[in-house]
Amino acid sequence: MPTIYQKESLEAILGLLLEATGISRASNCPIKSPSATSRFLNKYKWPTRKLIIIFRKWMLQQILSYSKKGRRPHLQVIIDLTTLEKRGKFKNFDGAICTYNKRRGLHLVVLYLVVGKVRIPWNFRVYRGKGTISPADLARRLLCSLPKILKRAFNIMVLGDSAFSSIAFLKTVKKLKINAVVGIRNNRSLSDARKIKDLHKGGQQIYLKDLPFPVSVAHYYFKKDDGKYLKRHVISTKQLKPSTLVWWGKRRWQIEGFFKTIKHRFSLDCFGQETKLGVYRWLILSFISFILAYWSFGLERATETQLNWTIAARKTLERLFSSVLLNILLQDIERLEPIAVQHGIFVQIKSC
């Protein structure tokens, strides 16, 4: 940060997010006023891009530590779209708040990396609604932005749902010399005019309409909340056995656990800033708070579903931002001192 004041504001907001309540807002920061946090997010010219570069460089080192001599491990590159639901007009956001799939809000296409115990949200793009760049094309740009060193160190497997099964997306995957397993709608046409729903045998090599290379297809049954089963199809740019193809197809659901955690614990959707820059910075800091909690305390706790995020975030706060906790404690003592005096308690703080 350019100044000590901005460094304190950064630590205060990260400390707020690491409370892991899921309802944190910049205006509720306990040790900074609403106007101070608003200026920090919306007006001050601190280097947001540099902060991202520093974190990505560190995360890349952690990912590459899983690349060993011999057979290259698989790096799962999971792509999905999530909506941060919002109400209001948001006139200054240039259409970033829109309606998609009957849900109004900010729509993010997120690229999520998984290898071994590592879980890292690597990048995201904002989908701006009908008539703009589609989620599949945004996902293509995210794939092309992956560091080349990852392609050399890992066997990359791209995972996604049917929104990312477009011809252009599959061609991009092939051009990058990586593999993908994505969902596909049952009404997609084949080169011979049949539909995906007409296929009943898993593991077949088929040609989609307008796709110049073959893909493998398989299906599985997904249990819905009402107990009924829904048939889903998946395709792969690499020839795989049906059981292997289905196994990879189900792995994409890992990102759903991340979405629930980042929203319900680290307040990704609780932005209320007046500018696009302020929202962008809030999203970045929310992602960083997730990464700090996961890497500082949660990495050894297997998966997100088995991790107590309240404890992980609290331990991270104590370890990395003890000054924030101390300031909150001192403010509480000052605020409650009159009550303590009424009960005959005199509180005196002395420096060591």
Residues above pLDDT 70, as percent of the chain: 97
**Domain definitions of the chain by residue range:** 4-315
Beta bridge partners of 158: 77, 180
The answer, yes or no, to whether residue 54 has pLDDT greater than 90, is yes
Q: What is the pLDDT at residue 301?
A: 54
CB 13 within 8 A of CB 31: no
Digit-coded pLDDT (tens) for 214-234: 999 999 888 887 888 888 999
Question: In which residue are the tokens 């690349």 written?
Answer: 67
Picking from 132, 149, 109, 135, the residue whose alpha carbon sits closest to that of residue 283 is 109
H-helix segments, the chain: 4-17, 34-42, 48-64, 135-144, 148-153, 167-175, 242-251, 254-264, 276-293, 309-320, 322-342
Digit-coded pLDDT (tens) for 306-339: 678 888 888 888 888 888 888 888 888 888 888 9
227-247 CB burial, b ≥16 within 10 A, e <16: eeeeebbbbbbbebebebbbe
Query: CA 336 from chain center: how many Å?
Result: 39
Give the pLDDT mean for 28-36. 88
- Reported as a pLDDT band with limits 50, 70 and 90, residue 298 is low
The answer, yes or no, to whether residue 341 has pLDDT greater than 90, is no
Digit-coded pLDDT (tens) for 105-148: 999 999 999 998 888 999 999 999 888 999 999 999 999 999 99
Distance in angstroms (rounded) separating the CA atoms of residues 218 and 205: 10
Q: Of 97-106, 166-175, 320-329, which gets the smallest average pLDDT?
A: 320-329
Q: Is 3.90.105 the CATH number for 4-315?
A: no
Q: What is the pLDDT at residue 218?
A: 93
